[in-house]
Amino acid sequence: MQFEGLSAVVSGGAGGLGGATARRLVELGMGVVVFEPEADRAHAFTQELGANAVYVPGDHNDDAAVQRAIAEAQRIGMFCINVNAAGVAINSPPTASIDGTPHDMQIFRDMVELHLFGPFNMSRLCAAAFALNKPDEDGQRGVIINTASTAAFDGQARQAAYSASKSGIVGLTMAMARDLAEIGVRACAIAPGPILTPRLAGAPEALKAALIGNVAFPKRFGRAEEYASLVEAILRTPFLNGQTIRLDGAMSTPLTSMAGAPAPK
């Protein structure tokens, strides 16, 4: 795949995984739209990336903002790549507490809106734009990469909403790949284990050691650059489609959540 002249929208593009991806795509010669709500951080980051990167502020559930990001990507290149790496670490309450309190539904809705609705909204609007592209020699018009999590397969205590959202990403990835086959657009997802991004960097040392303890090999946190490398590998491998790829050092998942919630008895 020739990357020069192509362009991408990276949602969560000034975050840990999104930022490493935006940097990699720029290094490959692409134009990149960093799509993000965090203006100060995103402005500084986009400037650091140089003239081939543009910042468009916005939320991935805001159609008008997403369309602005798409229009900007079409201005700076042949827009055919969308990587969605937005999200925030939020702990959920248990499904029901020992005092008889049920899980707050608004927390559940907010989590699903952020981690599942947003990536799907990006995917559908970007795919619609890709449909009008001239196909390459393989008939390909675009590639969409979403971000799941190992929690999609192995949800821990206090992760009902997060885990459900990430399982949703796995499910929609194959369905979208089949939906979008007729317009020549691929859809894949990456399911990271613990990757040392800013969201984890500030965690207590004991928690970090516990997280690394669950990883089989290599015995360390994953690196955001490894996520970006996998994005590049997906882009370079046209026969790869519909799959969610774990990026987790063959980790196993304990019952308790990263927040250190007590194991269910």
What mask of x and - would describe binding to ligand NAD in positions 206 to 245, judged by CB under 6 A?
A: ----------------------------------------
Supply the minimum distance, in Å, between the C-beta of residue 240 and ligand NAD. Answer: 20
Local structure of 90: helix, strand or coil: coil
* 162 carries an active-site annotation: yes
- Reference 186, options 237, 222, 150; nearest CA is 237
Closest approach of Cβ 134 to ligand NAD, in Å? Answer: 29
Whichever of 78 and 144 has its CB closer to ligand NAD, that residue is 144
DSSP output for 56-86: EE--TT-HHHHHHHHHHHHHHSEEEEEEE--
Q: Which of 168, 163, 180 is nearest to 242 (CA)?
A: 180
Candidates 24-32, 104-112, 114-122, 124-132 — which segment interacts with ligand NAD by CB under 6 A?
114-122
Element (H, E) at 209: helix 205-213
Burial of 51 (0-12, 13-18, 19+ CB in 10 A): exposed
Q: Whose CB is nearest to ligand NAD?
A: 15
Q: CA neighbours within 13 Å on the CB side: how many for 153? A: 17
Residue among 79, 108, 162, 227 flagged as catalytic? 162
At 129, which helix (H) or strand (E)?
helix 118-130
**Interface with ligand NAD, residue 85, by CB under 6 A:** yes
**Helix-helix angle 63-76:118-130, to 10 degrees:** 40
Contact flag: residue 46 with ligand NAD (CB under 6 A): no
Binding segment toward ligand NAD, per CB under 6 A, in 25-33, 75-83, 190-198, 235-243: 190-198
Q: Is 36 in the site for ligand NAD (CB under 6 A)?
A: yes
Radius of gyration of the chain (CA): 18
Query: Binding residues for ligand NAD, how many (CB under 6 A)?
Result: 28
168 binds ligand NAD (CB under 6 A): no
Query: Does 155 interact with ligand NAD (rule: CB under 6 A)?
Result: no
Among 86, 176, 188, 231, binds ligand NAD (CB under 6 A): 86
Among 46, 82, 92, 149, binds ligand NAD (CB under 6 A): 149
Look at residue 134 and give its three-state secondary structure.
coil
For CA atoms 250, 146, 161, 205, give the dihedral sign. positive
The correct pick among 12, 77, 142, 155 for binding ligand NAD (CB under 6 A) is 12
Cβ atoms < 10 Å from Cβ of 193: 21
Kindly state the smallest distance separating residue 104's Cβ from ligand NAD, in Å: 20
Catalytic annotation, residues: 162
Where do contacts with ligand NAD occur on this chain (CB under 6 A)? 11-12, 14-18, 36-38, 59-60, 85-88, 114-115, 118, 147, 149, 192, 194-195, 197-200
